[in-house]
Amino acid sequence: MNLPEFISRHVMRIALSLSVVILLLLHASGAFQFGFINRLENFSYDVRLNLMMPRTLDQRIVIVDIDERSLQEQGRWPWGRNKLAQLVDKLFEDYQIGVLGFDVVFAEKDESSGLKSLEQIQQQYLKSDTGFAQLLEQLRPQLDYDQLFANSLQGRKVVLGYYFRNDDHLDGRVGVLPEPSFIEGSFKGKDIAFMEATGFGGNLAALQQAATAAGHFNPDPDEDGISRRVPMVMSLDGNIYEALSVALARVALDTPKLQAGFADGLGVGKKYAGLEWLQMGDRRIPVDARVTALIPYRGLQGSFPYVSATDVLNGKTSKEVLKDRIVLVGTTAPGLMDLRATPVQNIYAGVEIHANMIAGILDQNIKQRPAYTLGAEFVLLLLTGLLLAFLLPALTPLWATLSAFVVLTLYVTFNLLLWQSANLVLPLASGLFLIAVIYVLNMTYGFFIESRGKRQLAGLFGQYVPPELVDEMAKDPEAISLEGESREMTVLFSDVRGFTNISEGLDPKQLTQLMNEFLTPMTHVIHDNRGTIDKYMGDAIMAFWGAPLNDPQHATHAVRAGMQMLASLNSLQAQFKARGWPEIKIGVGLNTGLMTVGNMGSEFRMAYTVMGDAVNLGSRLEGLTKNYGVQMIVSESTREKVPEYIYRELDIVRVKGKDKPVVIYEPVCASGEEDKSLQDELKLYRETLKLYRAQNWDLAEMQFINLQQMYPQRQLYAMYIERIAHYRQNPPDAGWDGVFTFQTK
């Protein structure tokens, strides 16, 4: 996007559209959430689900229903365990079912047989009556209904149900749990948001031991109370337990163990965002961040055959309906409280939710919302938003309407294709909202644009450049671009020396005043020399020349600014001293080269800035000022562009992260301002550098010692004396070209 568009009649529409894009990108990234979009997303999910449901009858799974007629004929619930044992025997022996699951928990003992009363009579009144005792023992197997029920479960593929609870109830743990699917510590080091429980309502120990497996039947309704997903596993005391539907499918498939599924190369113990799927043999159950799975509803209630429990007990059901089937025992009777609100029906039997999950596992058609759907939503929103933001303002209202409709149609079609072909649930509401809002904004607010062009331009660049440059930019907007582009530019970095010690000696108010007093004149110097302030980094300044306005003299202006910053700082020292503030010294680094400049950042924040190797080198040069005891260092590329200054060659260096060596210089003064003493010093220094690079250590050392004695304030000469001593002990490699390599920044 270039600036003519900003000062044209389209600027407001583009700006508002991009604001909507940014807000929705922030929503998609999770930075903050719009509740109404989440509600719209739930609604759009429900619409897609109802639209794409197969609405077919799945006869592989049969529900034995404890319905109203069963309660009328067999008695009120709970039934005696002897009757349940009879039901189990009928299902396996007469109807030859494959697997049986109970959407019921058997947490309390069944004392309806009167066995407990007979035992009390014996203890209190007939303790010495051996005949009564013998008769009681003969009757015990027939009257111990729990054991009768356990015996009927033994050796058969039966899966019991139980529930977890998350409260501080005193009786928070009742019955026993099955063996966990994953023991404590299985996911050590992994960031997985399992649903946590503090208690449970489990089955009697004898029943649990007799059953093949057990699974929890906890729901996980959304904020609106609608059941769209089910937790596939839950955590208690670090152990992980599978859901009823998972346990039933696993038993039906003869899969001995549930396994965790992670992305390739990321196993347990390695850091990863979370669990992606549960593996059951060759089948996968896709899960989300909370290890829940979307319920693959087939249709309205009745998508699976229902058989009345009383008909099974009375042998009235056709054997063909139940033979080799997966059977779920549950209830649709309203008084037994197992009815749920679902996307497909307001009142829906909870037992059929388990049936849908089992069918989805068997068919591998469970919809998935993996973590990367957030990234996909982000990309789609970004592309769609940018397309509409720049396309609609250029079109007439009619063509804009047609274009928005086409984009909306394509967006929805793509979403539905992924839903149907890849079982992938991509967010839809945010995209539809984005298209609608951008369209409305463009149709409503377009006429505000022309009067705000210059103000928009000033808002964009006012924080970077002085007002007079903004006015200059407005005169020639064609030369300005916010898009990333490569330009030859000059970058400047400055940093306060010993800032930590300075900050420790001042209170926060004084430190704030000092930094304001320091940064303000430094900024004036940069602005006066046509520089662009990139950013303040605490005590550091980053600026560049050559953008947004093209500046053929960018290197000259940058060097002049650096020299003036040092001069301005010297004039500040007396003021700082008078206020009791410490003396401030800075280092300045400059480099000239190709850089990428433009509006860069993220959905959270954009900034007009420069990037590239040439920028990094400028930062490195600023850091080297401490090593050479100078206040300012420029690269050879900057020196070549600004020949009107006298320079002291400091060294040939290879900075950290760069392979190519660079010659570095200290600007000393403007050409023509040097005196005889400076000329003599620089001449002797250049000759000494030649001796040093020729590895004539003795003569070079002698000359550096002479220079140090004549100019003791120069840290540079002492540095070379130390370096020569080092090279005597550790000679450089053959073919050494005089380059010194820095191992640190």
Residues 261, 284: contact at Cβ < 8 Å?
yes
User: pLDDT digit string (tens) for 408-432?
Assistant: 999 999 999 999 998 999 888 888 8
Give residue 644's pLDDT: 94
175: left (phi over 0), alpha (psi -120 to 50) or beta: left
Structural domains in the chain, sorted by start: 3-55+369-453 (no CATH), 61-110+155-363 (no CATH), 462-672 (3.30.70.1230), 675-745 (no CATH)
User: pLDDT digit string (tens) for 221-232?
Assistant: 988 899 999 999
Residue 472, pLDDT > 90, answer: no
For tokens 């035992």, the residue is 119
Token output for 483: 């898009």
If pLDDT is split at 50, 70 and 90, which confidence band does 293 have? very high
Residues 604, 21: contact at Cβ < 8 Å?
no
User: pLDDT digit string (tens) for 591-614?
Assistant: 999 999 888 877 677 778 899 999
Give residue 267's pLDDT: 42
If pLDDT is split at 50, 70 and 90, which confidence band does 180 have? very high
Closest CA to 430 of 16, 28, 14: 28
Give residue 139's pLDDT: 58
Residue 245, pLDDT > 50, answer: yes
Q: What is the DSSP string of 294-346?
A: E----SSTTSS-EEEHHHHHTT-S-HHHHTT-EEEEE---GGG--EE--SS-S
Contacts of 601-604 spanning 24+ positions with Cβ under 8 A: 603/22, 603/25, 603/26, 603/29, 603/31, 603/378, 603/382, 604/26, 604/31
Token output for 469: 């440059």
| Neighbouring residues of 243: CB distance < 8 A, sequence distance ≥ 6 | 215, 216, 217, 218, 230, 231, 232, 233, 234, 357
Closest CA to 242 of 172, 186, 305: 186
- Measure the CA angle with vertex 193, ends 190 and 196; round to 5°: 120
- Angle, helices 429-445/35-52, rounded to nearest 10 degrees: 120
Residue 190 φ/ψ, nearest 5 degrees? -100, 145
User: pLDDT digit string (tens) for 323-358?
Assistant: 999 999 999 887 777 889 999 999 999 999 999 999
Give residue 634's pLDDT: 96
Q: Per the omega criterion (within 30 degrees of 0), is the bond before 397 cis?
A: no
If pLDDT is split at 50, 70 and 90, which confidence band does 735 have? confident
User: pLDDT digit string (tens) for 108-163?
Assistant: 888 776 566 656 665 666 666 666 566 655 656 666 888 999 999 999 999 999 99
Closest CA to 425 of 495, 373, 460: 373
CA atoms lying within 13 Å on the CB side of residue 385 = 24
**3-class DSSP state of 627:** helix
For tokens 């996911």, the residue is 187
Q: Hey, which of 122-126, 185-189, 450-454 has the most confident mean pLDDT? A: 185-189
- Measure the CA angle with vertex 220, ends 218 and 226; round to 5°: 125
Distance of CA 543 to the CA centre of its chain: 32
If pLDDT is split at 50, 70 and 90, which confidence band does 724 have? very high
Give residue 73's pLDDT: 92
Token output for 586: 């800075």
CA atoms lying within 13 Å on the CB side of residue 543 = 33
Least confidently predicted of 57-71, 80-94, 142-156, 192-206 = 142-156
Task: Please give the average per-residue pLDDT across 362-369, as a whole number.
Answer: 91
